[in-house]
Amino acid sequence: KAGVTQTPRYLIKTRGQQVTLSCSPISGHRSVSWYQQTPGQGLQFLFEYFSETQRNKGNFPGRFSGRQFSNSRSEMNVSTLELGDSALYLCASNSGRKADTQYFGPGTRLTVL
């Protein structure tokens, strides 16, 4: 079974631009969660999508948004990029059942200049 894939793997943008990151979950998984990791911080939860609906949301500004498609693939969008948005963005998928193990993708490294 193929693992979680994320595209692109690396991205360089400038302040004020917007960016879209993509995540393809493991086949059969219906839940996709997004996380941000910055130096010195743990993995910060952004949001979770299940069956095309946002099920949980972390404490991030409205510039961070996401969506999920009928094939469970998910996209995350960040508008009006700020320098502080430079981070590793990870997505993880699972079945959507409570306490189910999450399987992580390789991440997208975003650099904002």
Partner 1 sequence: ILNVEQSPQSLHVQEGDSTNFTCSFPSSNFYALHWYRWETAKSPEALFVMTLNGDEKKKGRISATLNTKEGYSYLYIKGSQPEDSATYLCAPTNFGNEKLTFGTGTRLTIIP
* Contact partners, residue 17, CB within 8 Å, separation at least 6: 81
| Residue 104 binds partner 1 (CB under 8 A) | yes
Residue 48 CA to residue 4 CA, distance in Å, equals 15
Length of the chain: 113
Total binding residues toward partner 1, as defined by CB under 8 A: 27
> Least distance (Å) from partner 1 to the CB of residue 101?
4
| Candidate ranges 10-18, 19-27, 68-76, 105-113; the one touching partner 1 (CB under 8 A) | 105-113
Contact region for partner 1 (CB under 8 A) — 20-28, 68-76, 77-85, 101-109? 101-109
- In the complex, least distance from residue 108 CB atom to partner 1, rounded to whole angstroms: 12
Query: Which residue's structure tokens are 């009006």?
Result: 80
Note every long-range contact of 39-47, with CB atoms under 8 Å and residues 24 or more positions apart, other chains counting.
43/90, 46/76, 46/89
By the rule CB under 8 A, 2 interacts with partner 1: no
Hey, what are 47's tokens? Answer: 């949001």
Binding residues vs partner 1 (CB under 8 A): 3-4, 33, 35, 40-45, 48, 55-56, 58-59, 90, 92, 98-107
